[in-house]
Homo-oligomer: A and B are copies of this chain.
Amino acid sequence: MEYRKIKDDEDIIDRDVEVADADKSFLVSVSSSSDGETKLDTHRTKAQWKRKSVVTFALTVLTSSQAILIVWSKRAGKYEYSVTTANFLVETLKCAISLVALARAWMTEGVTENNRLTTTLDEVIVYPIPAALYLVKNLLQYYIFAYVDAPGYQILKNFNIISTGVLYRIILKKKLSEIQWAAFVLLTAGCTTAQLNSKSSTNTNTFVYECKAQGFKRLKNPNILTVTVPRKFRSCSSNSRSRLGDGNRELLTFVVMALLSGFAGVYTEAIIKKRPARNINVQNFWLYIFGMGFNVVAILVQDFDAVMNKGFFHGYSFITFLMIFNHALSGIAVSMVMKYADNIVKVYSTSVAMLLTAVVSVFLFGFHLSLAFFLGTIVVSVSIYLHSAGKMQR
């Protein structure tokens, strides 16, 4: 059943690729004809809106199911595989999916300037930068986890929302209306409120999002695994406060991490949007090929002995493959959102995914939702409404 769900998501991505292609051939027909331009514009706006909605929906569902798969795999007690090999497979799968989509484009359109795989140094030089930024951020994460535990980390991580907004404004020079800024502040406050937990059952909930947020790259990190242990604390608020009060250096590190994370996202959007006519699958291919490279290095440094002695696929289970599939599709969905929407939409999408995960967990794992979660959800919902209402009056 879970597998079929992922199949469906894959279909959504495929369908989206088709929509993207249809839209492109449509663009060609617009340039060749000159009458009825307003009608064509309306049609194009509608197609763009539809495509944007589909990729955003796909990202939300994939991000949410990603968190659920992680909890499921933890319950099943399977973590014996090498995380670096799994990450490598995710990047490889993303590359493969991009190539398949490209092959289809070549068959229908032929090889054009925009969908050819070969590239210039000028185009490709910027692609390793996001991967490098994420690497620095992950290194800092190891440092911060010595001082801040997971629930505190989770609360602070919501600053990423604000940093993304600020960097989006500064780097991409796109304006948000005052109402949209207000909505962004509300999104941050709402997400944090939804994560205020007072009972053990909802601590598990915090943990879900925590894992999701970091991807399953960090499943083996002992700092993450301890999250389920200290169920005794009463609320995140008192805990995080005391923890954060310990040192300004840690808070500074956190600000740097939030900025790095936001910057990596906004930079990826800048790279992808710099060449709007370029086929997204080519852009993805080059993004992911560097991801593969980074993960080869990670395997050699971290898990070389394990892979040599126990084999590449040691410890893999059915659910491990499901997670790899899910991560690959989520990664592609993120790129699609960067191409056809923006980082703001991505932030909203992952926030909604966090709430969705908690609701689904009620049915799947018997989690309980707190009043704080309910209030946070209301605030996030109003924030989404205001974001679109603010767009109109911009």
Interface set of A (CB-CB < 8 Å, partner B):
155, 178-179, 182, 185-186, 189-190, 192-193, 196, 198-199, 234-238, 240-241, 370-372, 375-376, 378-379, 382, 385-386, 389, 393
Q: How far is the CB of A305 from chain B (nearest CB, A)?
A: 44
Give the Cβ gap from A382 to chain B, nearest Cβ, in Å: 5
Which of A190, A198, A238 has the most chain B CB atoms inside 10 A of its CB? A198
B182 near A385: Cβ-Cβ < 8 Å: yes
Determine if A185 and B382 form an interchain contact, defined as CB atoms under 8 angstroms apart.
yes
**Contact status A182-B386, CB under 8 Å:** yes
Smallest Cβ-Cβ distance to A239: which chain B residue: B371
Number of copies of this kind of chain in the complex = 2
Is the pair B198, A234 in contact by a Cβ cutoff of 8 Å?
yes
**Can you pick out 26 interface pairs between chain A and chain B where the beta carbons lie within 8 Å of each other?**
A178-B389, A179-B179, A179-B389, A182-B382, A182-B389, A185-B378, A186-B186, A189-B375, A189-B382, A193-B193, A193-B372, A193-B375, A193-B376, A196-B371, A196-B372, A198-B198, A198-B234, A198-B235, A198-B238, A199-B234, A234-B234, A235-B371, A235-B372, A240-B371, A372-B372, A393-B393
Which residues on B sit within 8 Å (CB–CB) of A378? Answer: 185, 189
Residues on B with C-beta less than 8 A from A193 are: 193, 372, 375-376, 379
Give Cα distance in the complex from A111 to B10, angstroms: 82
Q: Which 9 A-B pairs have the closest CB atoms?
A: A237-B371, A198-B235, A189-B378, A237-B370, A189-B375, A193-B375, A182-B382, A198-B234, A189-B379
Q: In the complex, what residues of B have CB within 8 A of residue A389's CB?
A: 178-179, 182
What's the Cα separation between A179 and B391 when bound, in Å?
Answer: 13
Asked if A186 and B382 sit within 8 Å, CB to CB, the answer is yes
Cα distance A142–B186 in the bound complex, in angstroms: 37
Residue in contact with A199 in the complex, picked from B196, B236, B238, CB distance below 8 Å: B238
Neighbouring B residues of A375 by C-beta, 8 Å: 189, 192-193, 196
Q: How far is the CB of A148 from chain B (nearest CB, A)?
A: 14
Name the B residues within 8 Å of A179 (CB-CB).
179, 386, 389
CA gap between A234 and B371 in the complex, in Å? 13
Determine if B371 and A236 form an interchain contact, defined as CB atoms under 8 angstroms apart. Answer: yes
Which B residues lie within 8 Å of A238 (CB)? 198-199, 370-371
Given contacts A193-B372, A393-B393, 7 further A-B contacts (CB under 8 A): A178-B389, A189-B382, A196-B375, A235-B371, A235-B372, A236-B371, A237-B371
Contact A198 B385 (CB under 8 A): no
On chain B, the residues within 8 Å of A198 by CB distance are: 198, 234-235, 237-238
Tell me the minimal C-beta distance from A222 to chain B in angstroms.
26
Question: Chain B: which residue is nearest A235 at the CB level?
Answer: B198
Contact residue among B189, B370, B379, B386 (Cβ-Cβ distance under 8 Å from A235): B370
Say how far A111's CB is from chain B's closest CB, in angstroms.
50
A380 to B: closest C-beta gap in Å: 10
Q: In whole angstroms, what is the CA distance A305 to B22 when docked?
A: 88
A155 to B240, CA, bound (A): 24
